[in-house]
Each structure stands twice: as C-alpha cells, then as structure tokens.
C-alpha cells in the first residue's frame, strides 16, 4: 500500500486561556496571531509554521520529571543567556539549567507546558 500524503497542520497546546498563552509564545517567537475565536487561537511563523492554542479549562501540567516528558517544544537560540533572560522576564519559569545539560535548559511556560532553549550548533 502506498502511503497517502499526510502533513502536519498545527502543534496544539491545551490551556485555560488560549489568547494569553498565544500572546506569550508570539512574544517568544516573534510570530503574529492569525485567528482567534475565543476557544482556538493560532499564531503564524515563517512559511507554514504555526502553533495553535485550544481552550481546556481543566488543563493540568505534568509533574516533571516524575511524570516523564510527554511532549515539549525545543527552541534554538544563538545566545543562551539573552534568550533565558527574555523568556523568564515575560513569564517562564526555569526548571533546570544548562549546567546540568550542556547546550540546553528546561522551562515551563506561564501555564506549565515544558519547553527547552537549545544552543544553536
């Protein structure tokens, strides 16, 4: 059987307030919102890159590391210190620094999703 064409449309993050979390990631990535119906917000990056945020009033973040990592976002940066300072200033919480993992650090966004800043190269 030949595989049908299947493409990624969105990466979707559940959250209690889609507009607020979309605003956070729009600041982190420098992307622009393209749609917002109150329960579903999309931000657009270069090309076809998009993130969507879906209302989930009962969203509860995982307890990392005891729950393991189910899914997370990796962001590549040129200047780790500058990027860390910025994401912390706009609402992230640092979970584990790059002193434990050369080249990357682990954070939570304002509602608790995990993401990493990874040094380019």
Q: What is the CATH number of the domain that holds 46?
A: 3.10.180.10
88-117 per-position pLDDT tens digit:
999 999 998 767 778 899 999 999 999 999
Element (H, E) at 40: strand 40-44
- 111 and 69 in a single domain? The answer is yes
User: How would you classify residue 112: left for phi > 0, otherwise alpha for psi between -120 and 50, otherwise beta?
Assistant: left
Would 1 be classed as within a structural domain?
Answer: no
- Same domain? 64 vs 112: yes
Cα–Cα distance for residue pair 55/66, rounded to 1 Å? 26
Say whether pTM exceeds 0.85. Answer: yes
Distance in Å from the first CA to the final CA of the chain: 39
Question: With bands split at pLDDT 50, 70 and 90, how would you rate the model's confidence at 41?
Answer: very high
Question: Average pLDDT of 42-64?
Answer: 93
Q: Within this chain, do residues 54 and 65 fall inside the same structural domain, yes or no?
A: no
Cα–Cα distance for residue pair 100/20, rounded to 1 Å: 31
Task: Say if residue 9's pLDDT is above 90.
Answer: no
pLDDT of residue 27: 97
Residue 76: inside a domain: yes
Residue 74: domain span: 60-121
Last residue of a domain, one of 39, 58, 77: 58
Do 114 and 14 touch, CB atoms closer than 8 A?
Answer: no
Distance CA 11, CA 57 (A): 19
Domain co-membership, 53 together with 76? no
Looking at the structure of the chain, the number of domains it has is: 2
């Amino acid at each position: 059987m030949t595989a049908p064409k299947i493409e990624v449309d969105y990466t979707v993050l559940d959250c209690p307030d889609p507009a607020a979390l979309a605003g956070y990631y729009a600041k982190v990535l420098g992307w622009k919102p393209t749609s917002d119906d109150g329960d579903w917000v999309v931000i657009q990056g270069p090309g076809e890159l998009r993130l969507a945020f879906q209302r989930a009033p009962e969203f509860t973040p995982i307890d990392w590391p005891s729950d393991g990592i189910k899914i997370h976002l990796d962001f590549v940066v040129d200047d780790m210190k500058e990027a860390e300072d910025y994401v912390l200033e706009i609402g992230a919480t640092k979970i584990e620094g790059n002193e434990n993992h050369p080249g990357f650090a682990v954070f939570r966004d304002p509602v608790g999703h995990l993401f990493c800043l990874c040094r380019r190269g």
